[in-house]
Amino acid sequence: MELPVDSMEQQMALQQELMAAISHEIRTPVSRLSFALQLLKDGLEQEPKLVRQQQLLASCDDMVDDIDEINDLVAEVMTYIHLEDGGPRIIFQQVNVKEVLENLRSQYADLHPHLQISLAPDLPAKIIDVEPVQIRRACQNLVGNAVKYARTKIHLGYRLDGGFCVLLVEDDGEGIPETEYGRVFSPFTRLDESRNRSTGGFGLGLSIVRRIAYWHGGRAVAGRSEALGGANMMIRLPIHQPTDSLPVPSMAHLADRPA
């Protein structure tokens, strides 16, 4: 079936935006890699006896890190494009969301002992119909994002809203301006314009969250944490799905729509 002209134009515009953004993002690690290579070459030419061997080895390690960064970017882009183009059929399964959040809390608490990552102790178990791998990916992206910006505290939880379960990840960081709540889920968006390995990222994590939520007939929403004062990132998902599998819908028509 032939796509309408406006839909084709939106898809083409999105592809052009992605290619331009990818070129911009790749330029930084490639530039660093080129600079490190030049330093290594100069060092080898000027120090034939490898007097600066440790420094040169450190430069090699930096180059490996840059190559890894490029590979990570490519992997993120491929995931995003896969979700945007449709991907496989969703096979829903019953999953205990408390268990998903507790596993993530434990994982990130071990990796970031300076942060107090909490889950309400009396939070009851709740079973919802989801695609397990993708929901864990979405929650992991939200927690990973909170880790970058939290000062000392992160809180994980969920609440029920009619026939929906709202997963939430709150932090005590600076938060997100209300005017940016929709834009934060757009691809390659970084509100602080930072660009380093500790906090920069590629600006695709929240876009992937948004698309996974859409797969499930839900929404990804940004807000302010009343308890911690920072960001409150949420995924609103139907508790029950009408069937055990559905075709993944196209996201082209959501390219410019806030989450």
Tens digits of residue pLDDT in 31-87: 777 787 777 777 766 766 666 667 777 777 777 777 766 766 666 666 666 555 555
pLDDT along the chain (259 residues), means of 10: 56 63 71 78 68 71 73 64 58 92 92 92 90 89 92 96 95 90 71 48 74 88 94 95 57 37
Q: Which domains does the chain have, with CATH numbers?
A: 5-85 (1.10.287), 90-254 (3.30.565.10)
Handedness of CA 67, 72, 78, 81 (dihedral sign): negative
pLDDT number for residue 160: 94
CA distances from 132 to 88, 181, 195, 197, 224 (A): 14, 26, 31, 29, 27
Q: With helix as H, strand as E and coil as C, how does 185-203 read?
A: HCCCCCCCCCCCCCCCCCC
pLDDT number for residue 48: 60
pLDDT number for residue 195: 39
Q: Residue holding tokens 């806030």? A: 258
pLDDT number for residue 58: 77
pLDDT number for residue 6: 61
pTM equals 0.63
Amino acid at 139: C
pLDDT number for residue 259: 36
Is the distance from CB of 229 to CB of 105 less than 8 angstroms? no
